[in-house]
């Protein structure tokens, strides 16, 4: 049976008829999906999930950092991208109610956590934002997920990455999204955990060996020059510093290992806290969604194609597009041909 045909034994998601995910999974090679951190820019992940749904491709494993963990948890719980988009747009459109709710829930943590920062009154409880952004049907525990998920956080005192893949799901997501000085840290097993972007802003390396094809969505930012002044404001400097180290981490990772499909979502010019610009962010990410669909569809067909340049300076790098030049892509190609029992001359190579 061709991988374009609907498999009889594919997983069926029990969702409402109107907003249900694709009823049948597109059969074929196993696909791993990594959703990176980047604050509000990560709203672009919704469109990338839509691309998967529209292609009928269901990831077999996922990894997420920060906002990537939020949308990863929702999708791995069995919600469709359409459901996630509808809920997110509704939640973030009511701007003043959201702000009031967030600030009325300022953190009231343990005394030891209050001493963690000098100004505890500036901290917010991450669980409150999760209650707004996560639909009620999101799983309560990793064991209840329909797709295996790895969530990245950072151990502040241990100076290391923490990968969470079991136990309470919302607690793990809360830890992964704890931006320093904005959200109160989450304590799990005696460790003080902060935003996963501090150590692994794009965690594709955690799932590369668990699938035939790895897709990584990068929503990290870049400082944007201001026309009305020569230097950044204090806030812009702080946020821009985060952009720089996130990009540096990702750049160094790409030097040693590359996903098969790597996409910068086209939202780098938005600020980390631009959560109320949801419509603008989704519109900016639309071209990247279409490129993802083209590249993933063709890679599933074991075709080679040149890399495509994304608009406004962002780039789309498809490491598997040059099949004969990338060692990992050769492995993917071989695995796919074996799966479908194709001869080399039948792949168009």
| Catalytic residue positions, numbered | 66, 195
Torsion of CA 272, 274, 275, 279, to 10 degrees: -130
Mode of pairing for the β-strands spanning 191-195 and 149-155: antiparallel
For 160-277, strand residue ranges (E) read: 160-164, 186-188, 191-195, 213-218, 261-264
Distance separating alpha carbons of residues 98 and 343, to the nearest angstrom: 57
DSSP state of 198: G
**Helices assigned H by DSSP within the chain:** 45-55, 67-76, 81-93, 95-104, 111-114, 126-133, 169-176, 234-256, 278-300, 327-340
Question: Contact at 8 Å (CB) between 216 and 261?
Answer: yes
To 10 degrees, what angle do helices 81-93 and 278-300 make?
170
Residue of 79, 84, 38 whose CA lies nearest to 176? 38
Contacts of 316 (CB under 8 A, 6+ apart): 262, 263, 264, 288, 291, 295, 307, 308, 309, 310
Torsion of CA 177, 181, 187, 190, to 10 degrees: 130
Conformational region of residue 114, where left means phi above 0, alpha means psi within -120 to 50, and beta covers everything else:
alpha
């Amino acid at each position: 049976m061709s991988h374009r045909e609907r498999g009889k034994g594919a997983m069926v998601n029990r969702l409402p008829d109107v907003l249900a995910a694709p009823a049948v999974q597109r059969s074929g090679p196993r696909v791993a999906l990594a959703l990176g951190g980047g604050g509000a820019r990560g709203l672009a992940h919704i469109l990338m999930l839509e691309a998967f749904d529209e292609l009928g491709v269901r990831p077999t494993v996922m990894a997420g950092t920060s906002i990537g963990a939020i949308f990863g948890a929702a999708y791995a719980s069995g919600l469709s991208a359409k459901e996630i988009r509808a809920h997110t747009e509704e939640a973030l459109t009511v701007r003043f109610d959201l702000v009031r709710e967030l600030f009325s829930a300022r953190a009231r943590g343990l005394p030891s956590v209050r001493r963690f920062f000098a100004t505890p009154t500036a901290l917010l409880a991450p669980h409150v934002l999760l209650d707004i952004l996560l639909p009620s049907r999101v799983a309560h525990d990793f064991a209840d997920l329909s797709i295996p998920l790895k969530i990245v956080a950072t151990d502040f005192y241990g100076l290391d990455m923490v990968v969470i893949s079991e136990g309470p799901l919302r607690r793990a997501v809360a830890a992964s999204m704890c931006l320093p000085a904005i959200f109160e840290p989450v304590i799990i097993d005696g460790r003080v955990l902060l935003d996963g972007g501090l150590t692994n802003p794009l965690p594709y390396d955690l799932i590369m060996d668990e699938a035939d094809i790895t897709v990584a969505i990068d929503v990290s930012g870049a400082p944007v020059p201001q026309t009305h002044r020569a230097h950044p404001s204090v806030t812009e400097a702080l946020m821009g510093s985060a952009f720089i180290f996130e990009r540096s981490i990702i750049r160094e990772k790409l030097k040693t290992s590359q996903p098969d499909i790597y996409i910068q979502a086209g939202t780098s010019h938005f600020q980390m806290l631009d959560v109320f610009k949801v419509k603008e962010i989704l519109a900016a990410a639309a071209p990247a969604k279409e490129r993802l669909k083209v590249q993933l569809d063709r890679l599933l067909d074991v075709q080679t194609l040149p890399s495509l340049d994304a608009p406004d300076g962002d780039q789309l790098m498809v490491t598997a597009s040059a099949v004969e030049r990338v060692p990992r892509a050769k492995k993917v190609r071989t695995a796919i041909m074996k799966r479908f029992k194709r001869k080399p001359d039948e792949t168009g190579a």
